[in-house]
């Protein structure tokens, strides 16, 4: 936009660099900030600049956390025999919000994505298998996203573990389920895509 003060243009550019924020939203946000008292702006700036400051990566599960090991890993009330592997730290929040998983987590830090040069060494796969081998887990819930990359990663993880099952005793009886696919709650069968519906039929359950 022409003729805007430089300090506003800078903020607009900053907002535009965020995912999901287009040029118009960026302008709207910047003008919103202009109306805030200086005290709130300063706080906003400080808080953003310090987001990483008091944050550590848990050395056990690789979640972002206040302390290492994180609150989940050090919570003895959680089921220590269940492990759930997710793509990103942000997915832990969604799983916790679901409310019925009470085990531990392992954050992969990505998915296999050969087109973007992400191979098995770029995600925390060895760390996962090490952890499984050294621990006493009975179940590994694979909670990667239902995307092409997520599905491929899930399959790859399963195969890597199965290859080691003969040699490593702790992996022997490990059950490796995947999150169920099907109709999301509130969806319309009429409008659901064919793949989702075929998965919902495949996975049909007794009522």
Q: Is residue 201 involved in binding a copy of itself (CB under 8 A)?
A: no
Q: Is residue 206 involved in binding a copy of itself (CB under 8 A)?
A: no
Q: How far is CA 56 from CA 48, 59, 67, 168, in A?
A: 16, 9, 6, 31
Q: How far is the CB of 201 from a copy of itself (least distance, A)?
A: 30
Residue with tokens 């040069």: 117
Give whichever of 43 and 134 is closer to a copy of itself, judged by the CB atom.
43
Residue with tokens 């998965």: 199
In the stretch 148-187, what mask flags binding to a copy of itself with x, by CB under 8 A? ----------------------------------------
Query: Is residue 15 a contact partner of residue 25, using CB atoms and an 8 Å limit?
Result: yes
Q: Is the dihedral of CA 49, 50, 55, 56 positive or negative?
A: positive
Residues within window 40-79 making contact with a copy of itself, judged by CB under 8 A: 41-55, 64-66, 70-72
Give whichever of 34 and 180 is closer to a copy of itself, judged by the CB atom.
34
User: Cα 175 to the chain's mean position, in Å?
Assistant: 22
Q: Is residue 25 involved in binding a copy of itself (CB under 8 A)?
A: yes
């Amino acid at each position: 936009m022409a003729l805007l003060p430089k300090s506003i243009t800078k903020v607009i550019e900053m907002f535009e660099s965020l995912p999901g924020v287009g040029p118009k939203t960026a302008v709207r946000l910047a003008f919103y900030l202009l109306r805030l008292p200086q005290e709130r702006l300063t706080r906003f700036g400080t808080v953003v600049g310090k987001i990483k400051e008091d944050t550590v990566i848990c050395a056990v599960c690789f979640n972002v956390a206040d302390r290492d090991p994180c609150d989940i890993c050090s919570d003895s009330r959680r089921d220590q025999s269940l492990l759930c592997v997710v793509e990103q730290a942000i997915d832990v929040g969604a799983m916790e919000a679901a409310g019925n998983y009470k085990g531990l987590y392992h954050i992969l830090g990505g998915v296999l994505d050969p087109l973007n040069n992400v191979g098995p060494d770029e995600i925390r796969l060895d760390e996962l298998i090490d952890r499984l081998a050294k621990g006493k887990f009975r179940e590994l819930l694979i909670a990667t996203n239902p995307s092409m990359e997520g599905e491929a990663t899930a399959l790859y993880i399963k195969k890597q573990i199965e290859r080691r099952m003969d040699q490593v005793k702790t992996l022997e009886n490990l059950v490796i389920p995947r999150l169920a696919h099907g109709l999301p709650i509130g969806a319309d069968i009429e409008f659901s895509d064919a793949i989702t519906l075929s998965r919902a039929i495949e996975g049909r359950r007794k009522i």
